[in-house]
Structure 1
């Protein structure tokens, strides 16, 4: 599981330094609202996850959770925070 998350984060981080035309991630980085657009998406996806948890089934919950994770990863990359830091934090909390 961590491997696929590492791969997704690597693509997200790469889009920041190597924008790709037509890429959704690139569009977030280049949005006129800047980081505020990413933060809006995190808020939107959080709300959608809450609604899915209340009213939806497993498929909807998993989908919305993945959307939230994705946008959180975009935020990390936008702020130059390596994904490894999140894994380290979970490791620290596990002890």
Structure 2
């Protein structure tokens, strides 16, 4: 059973861990180590999804995607953003072809 509010709860946990002791919290440690460390984790998880996809193991793909989403949420928190910012952008794009949306970004 899915629960769409999980992203909000996870983002709230990440936000709460911003002020935690980096030796006691993985999130606090990532944020303390800075954007380059977070970006490396996002890139690492993206590569792991590619490898999982090549293997064709659906559970492995789901696990690696969860890792990527988690690290993307940490990156968003680093920039003062959250899931709603991404969801609002997706809503803005809804009904617009990908080709048109990309062209609009290049113009503006």
> Does residue 65 in structure 1 map to residue 65 in structure 2?
yes
Aligned residues: 92
What SS does structure 2 have at the residue aligned with 1:2?
coil
Which residues in structure 2 correspond to 1:5-84 (within 5 Å)?
5-16=7-18, 18-20=19-21, 21-31=23-33, 34-84=34-84
* Unaligned residue ranges in structure 1 (runs of 5+): none
What SS does structure 2 have at the residue aligned with 1:43?
helix
* Unaligned residue ranges in structure 2 (runs of 5+): 96-108
Q: TM-score, structure 2 length as denominator?
A: 0.79
Structure ID, larger Rg: 2
CA RMSD of aligned residues (A): 1.3
Relative contact order, higher structure (CA 8 A, sep 6+): 1
Q: TM-score, structure 1 length as denominator?
A: 0.89
Which consecutive aligned stretches of 4+ in structure 1 deviate over 6 angstroms post-superposition?
none
